[in-house]
Amino acid sequence: MAIYLPELDPTQLWFPPVERALEQPDGLLAMGGDLSAGRLILAYRSGIFPWFSDGDPLLWWSPAVRAVFPPASLKFNRTLRKTWQRSALNLTLNHAFDDVVQGCAAPRKNQPETWILPPMQQAYQRLHQQGHAHSIEVWQDNKLVGGLYGIVVGGLFCGESMFNRVPDAAKFALLALQQHLSRYATGWIDCQLPNPFLQQLGAETIDRLQYLSLLQQQAEISSPHGHWQPKSLSLAND
């Protein structure tokens, strides 16, 4: 059976209603368009994100099931505290956005290819320059050993990717992110698609309608001035 996908015109800023997303493959909504800042911001505010591989057209998704970290779901437990103390790690916000994106795009043992292609990297770098995209960095001996990046929509952080070069670095980045968000919002983090690693950390699944309701609520929250300016971060005990 042939799959019909709406093809977006780069000169027109719009998306089909997310209810029209395909069931197979789950969430595929449209193709084409561009990766302009305006289109990406509209996408995230509509519950849509881009995801495509090298050689594929630009594809847009709104899956039926989303993975999210609810407020206070990430815990700085005893095991993590011991690892933190032994590892002598430091955390920063927006100190090395481009390096974090490149770290996320680098080949991995079980994932030699990446979907974070140069056009995607450049698009998120533009969003970072405009104040929409942010990164958490994890450092050891002044070397970047982990981190994450994503887009902020009001009080919701829409995570794009993360990476580890030492054990638990991504966990610490996520924990620092949720604590940072909770200083002005409730602390919701969107992880897009569920996987065993995220679910082990406490991520929950919600359906598309629930996600859109959450997105609408969080989009109305505004962050205090300077909240996302580059700074050092610390982890607070639960």
Higher confidence at residue 113 or residue 74?
A: 74
In terms of Cα–Cα distance, which of 165, 128, 126, 173 is closest to 145?
165
The pLDDT-based confidence of 232 (bands split at 50, 70, 90) is: very high
What kind of fold does domain 7-63 have according to CATH? Alpha-Beta Plaits (3.30.70)
- CB of 84 closer than 8 Å to CB of 235: yes
- CB of 185 closer than 8 Å to CB of 223: yes
Global pTM reads: 0.94
Query: What pLDDT does residue 190 have?
Result: 98
CA distance 226 to 205: 32
Query: What pLDDT does residue 72 have?
Result: 94
Query: What pLDDT does residue 107 have?
Result: 81
State pLDDT tens for residues 51-66.
Answer: 998 888 999 999 999 9
Kindly provide the b/e burial profile for residues 209-219, where b requires at least 16 CB atoms within 10 angstroms of the residue's own CB. Answer: eebbebbeebe
State pLDDT tens for residues 110-137.
Answer: 665 677 999 999 999 999 999 999 999 9
Other CB atoms within 10 Å distance of the CB of residue 83: 16
Query: What pLDDT does residue 112 have?
Result: 56
Bridge-based pairing state of the strands 65-69 and 204-207: antiparallel
Higher confidence at residue 111 or residue 155?
A: 155
- CB of 224 closer than 8 Å to CB of 184: yes
- Percentage of the chain modeled with pLDDT above 90: 88
In order, the DSSP letters of 88-117 are TEEEEESSSHHHHHHHHHS-BTTB-S-S--
pLDDT at 140 over 80: yes
User: Among the CATH numbers 3.40.630.70, 2.40.30.170, 3.50.50.60, 3.90.180.10, which is that of 68-233?
Assistant: 3.40.630.70
In order of 21, 44, 160, 224, the CA distances from 208 in angstroms are 10, 13, 18, 29
- State the chain's mean pLDDT as an integer: 94
In terms of Cα–Cα distance, which of 171, 166, 164 is closest to 203?
171
In order of 17, 20, 23, 63, 141, the CA distances from 27 in angstroms are 12, 9, 6, 4, 42
In terms of Cα–Cα distance, which of 207, 213, 217, 195 is closest to 62?
207
Question: Structure tokens of 114?
Answer: 């990446």
Q: Where are the domains of the chain?
A: 7-63, 68-233
Domain 7-63 matches domain 68-233 at the CATH topology level:
no
| Interacting residues of 63 by C-beta distance below 8 A, sequence separation 6+ | 21, 26, 27, 192, 193, 208
State pLDDT tens for residues 12-44.
Answer: 999 999 999 999 999 999 999 999 999 999 999
